[in-house]
Amino acid sequence: KSESDVSIEVGRSGTISVAKPKQHRASLSDFAANEGGQCPSCGAEGLVGEPCSHRVCSGHEIHIIPTPYADLYRERLAHSPFPDLLVGRRIHDYLVVDTLGSGSVGRVFCALQLPVLMRVALKISSARHVASRDSALHTSHFVREAKILARLRHPHIVTLMHYGVFQALPFIVTDLVEPACTLRDELRRRTVEGESLRFSEVRGIVEQILDALYYAHSEFVVHRDIKPENVLLQRTPGTNRIFVRVLDFGLAKVVRESHETNYVSGTAIYMAPEQILGSEIGPWTDLYAVAVMLSELITGSCLFAGMDRATVYRLKLGDGGHVARALSDHALPPEALEFFRVALARAPSERQRDVTQFREQMERMFDALEVGGKTELSADEISRLLQSRVGGLTQSRRHSPSISDATVI
């Protein structure tokens, strides 16, 4: 190994997931019985994990991957002129075989741990960050996420399997759970299939999110980016029970080290006012985001639909009148209105201070909803919610706390 390929094992397996297209799922789960495969670039055959012997592929360090993944790669390449150069590469003991997604800080791949061919999720930094003047800061964020995940051990929180550096690019490895999807994707599925979302399901999902946050907060960790895209749902085989995992601790912070931040970090729609101001964060910060999610899943509408970031910030830093007016458009019982009035207050001191308080008031709200006869969101209501909530206005930048700055971005 070169000095740039430093690797540190930090913990047992964790969980991150994306659902595979149905037409590929069967073949992708069968390849372990047969270690023969193909080069994703030239199609040469060989044993999975072995370097491709073709001169050009060898020069680019391309390896043989399972044939179903090679077929999938070429199928995608037919629709895009830009191949992903990491597919077929070996990163330490991990063979990259598929692209799962990308974000502002890097990309996520499906990889196989050699030689056992266990599927894992590998998140690696983008090369442009390493080449930028903020490369040291970006790498420190990866290290911070790895350290936070390494200290968290809970069934409803993704945990870490491996952290390392590959050619100056930091990467994190977690388990890959298949099939599963994010809460946002589950809402999309129900819209397509005309399926409603029962409040009893919402209650069960949020209870598990709160279990995860209760544990994280007990370890002095605040997530800072709770949203439907970071909530993973998996249906337990043989049952209809939904099992929840909280993903992406890339913006998480250990509040015991510092309660304040020099960054506006998070997704504007779900971001608490104190994140906008760069002031003291704590459990109440994550609970604010959970309350915003709950308002969407119960009313079928986004509190900040169609608004730009500056408007969202201005309303969040206002007197709370916008939230009250938006919720008054729905036939909610007094218990629900009171719950959201407290949970979405501007001042942290006026909100529920911890998961226990939040849970108690939430339970009263759900009981009142059940008595009132409103027990689900229809597929049409879910569709309107998704249409009203386009993007999320994700924000992460260096920040000097001031109200004027927050309201003009």
pLDDT surpasses 60 at 381? yes
More confidently predicted of 113 and 265: 113
Comparing 131 with 405, the larger pLDDT belongs to 131
Q: What is the rounded distance in angstroms from the CA atom of residue 360 to the CA atom of residue 180? A: 29
Whether 225 is catalytic = yes
Strands (E), 268-385: 376-377
- Per-residue pLDDT band at 264 (split at 50, 70, 90): low
The H helix count followed by the E strand count for the chain is 15, 19
Rounded mean pLDDT, 367-389: 90
Q: 66 with 44: CB under 8 angstroms?
A: no
Q: Phi then psi for 20, rounded to 5 degrees?
A: -85, 150
Q: What is the pLDDT of residue 83?
A: 73
Is residue 23 over pLDDT 70? Answer: no
Give the rounded percent of residues in the chain with a pLDDT score beyond 70.
82
Q: What is residue 8's predicted lDDT score, i.e. its pLDDT?
A: 38
Residue 231 DSSP symbol: E
The CATH-assigned architecture of domain 181-406 is Orthogonal Bundle (1.10)
Q: What is the pLDDT of residue 390?
A: 57
The residue annotated as part of the active site, out of 84, 98, 211, 225, is 225
Query: Which CATH number applies to 3-175: 3.30.200.20, 3.40.630.30, 3.40.718.10, 3.30.70.1150?
Result: 3.30.200.20
Q: Which residue has the higher pLDDT, 102 or 375?
A: 375
Per-residue pLDDT, averaged over 73-89, amounts to 86
Q: Determine the average pLDDT of the residues in 62-70.
A: 96
- Phi and psi dihedrals of 397, rounded to 5? -155, 160
| pLDDT tier, 71 (very low <50, low <70, confident <90, very high otherwise) | very high
Instruction: Return the domain boundaries, the chain.
Output: 3-175, 181-406
Alpha carbons 342 and 348: distance in angstroms, whole number: 9
pLDDT, tens digit (0-9, with 9 covering 90-100), for 212-257: 999 999 999 999 999 999 999 998 777 778 999 998 888 888 876 5
How many CB atoms sit inside 10 A of residue 79's CB? Answer: 6
Alpha helices in 87-182 (DSSP H): 127-131, 135-151
- Does the structure show a pLDDT above 70 at 277? yes
Report for 134-148, 174-188, 339-353: range of highest mean pLDDT: 339-353
Tell me which amino acid residue 297 is: L
The mean per-residue pLDDT over the stretch 312-327 comes to 89
Greater model confidence, 195 or 324: 195
- 355-372 and 334-343 helices, crossing angle to 10°: 150
Q: What is the reported pTM?
A: 0.82
- pLDDT at position 120 over 90: yes
**Fold match, 3-175 / 181-406:** no
Nearest CA to 221 out of 252, 193, 191 is that of 252
pLDDT, average across residues 118-135: 80
Q: What is the mean pLDDT of residues 132-156?
A: 85
pLDDT band at 194 (very low <50, low <70, confident <90, very high): very high
